[in-house]
Structure 1
Amino acid sequence: MMSSVKVECAVKTGSLIGEGPVWEESEQTLLFVDIAGQKIHRWSSTTNQIQSVETADMVGFAVPRQSGGYVAGVGRSIVAVDWSTQMMSSLVEVDEDKPNNRLNDGKVDPVGRLLAGTMGKEVRPAEVQRQQGSLFSVTSDLIVTKHLNQVDISNGLDWSLDQKTFFYIDSLSRTVDAFDYDSHSGQIGNRRVVYRMEEGEGLPDGMTLDVDDRLWVACYNGGRVINIDPATGVRLQTVSLPVMKTTSCCFGGPDFSDLYVTSASLGLDQSEKRQQPLAGDTFRVTGLGVKGRPSNSFSG
């Protein structure tokens, strides 16, 4: 890790499972969820205040919506969230035949289409009934398409700058995969592995891309974020965090040069909690020398 890199606690939440951060440029706020705590949080970098909305079930992700407010994955439903009234209304439901499933990570592609994946309910953190999940897309007119099935834990996702490659993580496979992506039709194909996790790196969880099309992958049970060149499969950099259960990351700050990293406290025993007092908090990493990109908003 480069000596100029600095890691600090940005948001003190102690979340059971903090996930899916999204930087809102216009508000200079960080949007993220607490899956097990069933909350969507908004942290203002200017006031250092947190606003929260409670969800009626586990919430896997929340993303901005072009028409205002947000859409979130709550239980098996994609819901519209009106932040001002704290009201939620269901738009579509997935995995109707699998009532024990829930939505996990989700992100919007460069043309406004939402991609989101599911997983079976966890017995313990990262312990699930395998191959129960799927990956779906939702268009602006709420047409749902299933792209993958037999997924263990559907997780990180993002797109290359030219929109021709879709990167995706099914955590228990311990790989980061790439697909050819047709942004017009939303179809994916030609799956291949771009990185295989090494001993000690934990499970790949949430991820984001920078402006150089390099991947930044949060490593659950690995206590780090790794920077990967998907063209070569080489790990370029490792950022160590003071917590083991790092869950996801995004770029933010005034010029998108800060990396925000979420973490989880669920599943830690008392001894581990004493050793990791910041578990569940959200961290800001500065001095990386790279910038990220603004997030996309759902067009539906």
Structure 2
Amino acid sequence: MSSVKVECVVKVSALIGEGPVWEESEQSLLFVDISGQKIHRWSPSTNQIQSLETGQPIRNVQRHSENMTLSHTSRLFSGETVGFVVPRRSGGYVAGVGRSIVAVDWSTQMMTSLLEVDEDKKNNRLNDGKVDPIGRLLAGTMGKEERPAEVQRQQGSLFSVNSDLGVTKHLSQVDISNGLDWSLDQKTFFYIDSLSLTVDAFDYDSHSGHIGNRRVVYRMEAGEGLPDGMTCDADGRLWVACYNGGRVIHIDPATGVRLQTVSLPVMKTTSCCFGGPDYSDLYVTSASLGLDQSGRRQQPLAGGTFRVTGLGVKGRPSNSFSG
């Protein structure tokens, strides 16, 4: 087997780096800093990083349908966390800012609110989100942390947003809605609610977006930390970033067996995705929030983004939101 190499390629120290997505058209890596309230775009070829702050004015829009007008009453100004960013088929990106799904125009650095979720839970925020193979966005919420690592439990939900911006709630009483991805045949949806310490699977109907038949495909072992963001490779196996575990684990959801562990020089590994010209590079984000001075000395690369090469597997292109 080829030798695995781990290097820190983006040394910007994020408070909570999260949600890496490889954007094929730009050959660049998108990721967010949740608490730093920034969306980053990094080019491996130039090593340049561009950033957009989400703590800026968000335009509201009026949506017109055949027989009604939907006007939005969400906040005009955002000092909000950003949970995820994904490409949008019509151009630009869509991000989860606070409890709002917003359209992001990178060229003008403008954000426009499309809709809001969990309107009855003002203390919630959007966390991880990902687009399914037909262009539907799935995104989850969680209670805001009163203090780092102190989350209000069972406050979150899991939603999907379809191309006409219709919203469906699939799950409630979620602790920390996190990693999501789909099997190669699109018939299985993989999902992580971090505090359950499991990776779960659902039957998935890609036509309707319905999920059902929840079951556990992997149970975290002692010392592995909390399951966080994840990605599915071209062989249908899962790669799960382990928060407070300093590692990414490679698991076979069919057997529940851990196939490999990739150790990183930081403990708060948060999420991962495959990228690069042939999708053979695994990018891993991390967090620095909550580390004391001693922790920062021991982990000087905390909050950086890492590239893992030599794994001998490839990932799949990301999907773009159809709305």
The residue that corresponds to 2:67 in the other structure is none
Look up the match of 2:7: 8
Is 1:93 the counterpart of 2:116? The answer is yes
Amino acid at match of 1:249: C
> Structure 2 matches for 1:100-249, cutoff 5 A?
100-249=123-272
For 1:54, the aligned partner's letter is: E
**Matches of 1:298 and 1:206 in 2, distance apart?**
19
Q: Corresponding residue for 2:72?
A: none
Distance apart, 1:48 and its partner CA: 0.4
Retained in 2: the 8 A contact 1:177–1:194?
yes
Cα deviations by residue, 1:156-211 (Å, 9 ceiling, x for unpaired): 00000100000000000000000000000000000000000000000000000000
CA displacement, residues 221-280 of structure 1 (integer Å, 9 cap, x when unaligned): 000000000000000000000000000000001100000000000011110100000000
Is the Cα contact below 8 Å between 1:28 and 1:253 reproduced in 2?
Answer: yes
Aligned to 2:24: 25
CA deviation after TM superposition for structure 1 residue 3, in Å: 6.4
Check the 8 A contact 2:243/2:270 in 1, yes or no: yes
RMSD between aligned alpha carbons? 0.7
Instruction: Say if 2:100 is the partner of 1:77.
Output: yes
Larger Cα-atom Rg? 2
Counterpart selection for 1:286 from 302, 305, 309: 309
| Residue identity in the other structure for 1:102 | R
The residue that corresponds to 1:38 in the other structure is 37
* Contact kept in structure 1, 2:2 and 2:312, CA below 8 Å: no
Check conservation: 2:81, 2:97, Cα contact below 8 A.
Answer: yes
Which residue in the other structure is 2:273 paired with? 250
Whole-angstrom CA distance in 2 between matches of 1:5 and 1:245: 20
- Using the alignment, how far apart are the partners of 2:152 and 2:5 within structure 1? 38
Matched AA of 1:15: A
Letter in 2 for 1:267: G
TM-score, length-scaled by structure 1: 0.99
* Aligned AA (1:144): V
Does structure 1 residue 50 correspond to structure 2 residue 73? no
Q: Shift of residue 123 of structure 1? A: 2.1
Equivalences, count: 299
The letter for the 2-side match of 1:160 is S
SS of corresponding position for 2:140: strand
Q: Which moved more, 1:18-27 or 1:123-132?
A: 123-132
> Aligned-pair distance for 1:46?
1.0
Q: What TM-score, normalized to structure 2?
A: 0.92
C-alpha separation in 2, matches of 1:173 and 1:161: 25
C-alpha separation in 2, matches of 1:171 and 1:280:
19
Shift of 1:120: 0.2
Q: Is the 8 A contact 1:78 1:90 kept in 2?
A: yes
Gaps of 5+ in 2: 56-79
What residue identity is the alignment partner of 1:18?
G
What percentage of residue pairs aligned between the two structures are identical? 89
1:263 corresponds in structure 2 to 286
Q: CA deviation at 1:27?
A: 1.2
